[in-house]
A and B are shown apart, each in its own frame.
Chain A
Amino acid sequence: MNLFRTALILAKKDLYSELKTKQILTTQIIFAGLVIVVFSFAFDPANNTTKAVIPGVIWVIIVFAGILGLNRSFISEQRNETMQGLLVAPMEAASIYLGKFLANFAMMLVVELVSIPFLFLLFDFKFLGSVPYFILVVFLGSFGFIAIGTFLAALAANSKSSEMLLPLLLFPITTPILIGVVQATKIILTNVEKLSSAIAWIQLVTAYDVIFFVVCFLLIDYVLEV
């Protein structure tokens, strides 16, 4: 129970910090807005083929806005060496990981909540697919991406060029998740008759999420050692 209690305290601290400084969320939302505006000018919303671009744009926003947040997640604990304060406190390393994951995931969900409706609005997209499945895919994809990203952000934070290292480590490992969710999103948004195929992709992503979340949870102890 202590593991979840301290993880929640840490997540609350990170979210409260964000509320005070508005550094990460603002950058993420501005980035998402820029991507949407640029794509809406590049592709004519009146054209039917534009629909095919939307799943890709959604995941471009999630991936790149996510990286902006992940990069800061552990680097912010280097100032005044506050990470040492967490490591000497009676909490497991897994609890630090879980707390950071929860904060990053919550911020990612806020970005999605703001940017995806804005994207649909600017692209004049009429949603004919399955809303619950769409939400499920976005949730699972973000979960896996942030779970692996939080772990790798902890790993990269000790490097001098962590902002370059994180994407280099993250993209190859999250590629199966990204392929799965882009395929599933495409089917759910544009070709809902093939839902069974989307479900197969969702199952693949779920399995990948569970495996990597558990692996990250178990290995974080070695990563956070001073």
Chain B
Amino acid sequence: MIEIKKLTKQADNKLILRGVDLSIKKGETVAILGPNGAGKSTLLKVLATLIKPSSGLIKINGLDLKKNHLEIKKLLGYLPHSSLLYDHYSPLENLVFFGNIYGVDDVEQRAIKLVKEVGLSFFLNEPVKNFSRGMIQRIAIARAIIHDPEILLLDEPHTGLDQGAISILNNVILSMKEKGATTLMVTHDFKQAAEICDRIIIVKNGKIVDDFKIENRNLGFVSEKYELQVEGVS
């Protein structure tokens, strides 16, 4: 599904990604862990086509990212730190706008269904600016999946969420997984990573230093591996 070969990204003489090689199969849920400044979010931004790589090859669904970026963008659902929502628009207006850009059929019904799924149907027509952080994040999740993407790219999606919102987000990820979607999640929350992911990648200094599968939601195993690799980095 995702093939990355010798990916590098340089910005202002600083090498952020130093030859990343990664292969992710369809349907996998992968957590990317690592200390601050390791290059996790940059890797996600490169995959989301927000940043152009300095060198290397990225293929998604067999398509070259450089040549087929429009086709690839249709497959991606991106959820960064920010909500990417228009404050003065209601959830419905936001979702309809993004749905229209993605060419979603029957977009209004799809938007209403998603707002209901994230538990905010009472606030369908309220401006987003009046929402709490958790509520905004729920709508942001709905925005990221409005076009039913095959690949979900999530950048620290659990940060600042209450338990309700965390469980909604996890349910969304798991239901997308059931549909065969691939998920890449940058996170510092080991508990959530162990709970919903089946593979962990540890990034340090722009390189992948560990790549392993986890079973039975073994949080201790993840923490142990992480400490082993990242020890000494603050």
| A86 / chain B contacts, CB cutoff of 8 Å | 101
Which of B69-77, B195-203, B220-228 has 4 or more CB atoms under 8 Å from chain A?
B69-77
What are the interface flags for A78-90 relative to B under an 8 Å C-beta threshold, 1 for contact and 0 otherwise? 0111101111111
Residues A48-89 near B (CB distance < 8 A): 79-82, 84-89
Given contacts A21-B88, A87-B49, contact A9 B82 (CB under 8 A): no
- The residues of B with any CB-CB pair to A shorter than 8 Å are 45, 48-52, 70-71, 73-74, 76, 78, 80, 82-89, 93, 97-98, 100-103, 143
| A82 / chain B contacts, CB cutoff of 8 Å | 84-86
Residue A165 at the chain B interface, CB threshold 8 Å: no
Evaluate contact between B88 and A88: CB separation under 8 angstroms: no
Evaluate contact between A226 and B50: CB separation under 8 angstroms: yes
Given contacts A6-B101, A9-B100, A90-B102, contact A17 B70 (CB under 8 A): no
Given contacts A81-B84, A84-B84, contact A90 B101 (CB under 8 A): yes
Sorted from nearest, which 4 A-B pairs have the closest CB atoms? Answer: A85-B84, A81-B82, A90-B73, A88-B78
Given contacts A17-B86, A80-B86, contact A9 B97 (CB under 8 A): yes
Complex A-B: 7 CB contacts under 8 Å: A17-B88, A80-B83, A80-B87, A84-B50, A85-B143, A90-B102, A226-B51
Within the assembled complex, what's the spacing in Å between the Cα atoms of A80 and B93?
Answer: 16
Evaluate contact between B82 and A13: CB separation under 8 angstroms: no
- The residues of A with any CB-CB pair to B shorter than 8 Å are 2, 6, 9-10, 13, 16-17, 20-21, 79-82, 84-92, 225-226
Within the assembled complex, what's the spacing in Å between the Cα atoms of A9 and B103?
Answer: 11
Residue from B50, B73, B82, B100 within 8 A of A80 (CB atoms): B82
| B70 / chain A contacts, CB cutoff of 8 Å | 2, 90-92
| B82 / chain A contacts, CB cutoff of 8 Å | 80-81, 84
Task: Tell me the minimal C-beta distance from A221 to chain B in angstroms.
Answer: 10
Within the assembled complex, what's the spacing in Å between the Cα atoms of A226 and B46?
Answer: 10
| B80 / chain A contacts, CB cutoff of 8 Å | 81, 84
Given contacts A80-B87, A82-B86, contact A89 B101 (CB under 8 A): yes
Within the assembled complex, what's the spacing in Å between the Cα atoms of A38 and B98?
Answer: 44
Within the assembled complex, what's the spacing in Å between the Cα atoms of A2 and B70?
Answer: 10
| B101 / chain A contacts, CB cutoff of 8 Å | 6, 9-10, 86, 89-91
Q: Which B-chain residue is minimally distant from A85 (CB atoms)?
A: B84
Task: Tell me the minimal C-beta distance from A95 to chain B in angstroms.
Answer: 9
Within the assembled complex, what's the spacing in Å between the Cα atoms of A199 and B101?
Answer: 41
Task: Tell me the minimal C-beta distance from B139 to chain A in angstroms.
Answer: 11
Q: Which A-chain residue is minimally distant from B81 (CB atoms)?
A: A81
Residue from A13, A20, A87 within 8 A of B97 (CB atoms): A13
| A9 / chain B contacts, CB cutoff of 8 Å | 97, 100-101
Task: Tell me the minimal C-beta distance from A108 to chain B in angstroms.
Answer: 22
Q: Which A-chain residue is minimally distant from B72 (CB atoms)?
A: A90
Task: Tell me the minimal C-beta distance from A175 to chain B in angstroms.
Answer: 34
| A81 / chain B contacts, CB cutoff of 8 Å | 80, 82, 84
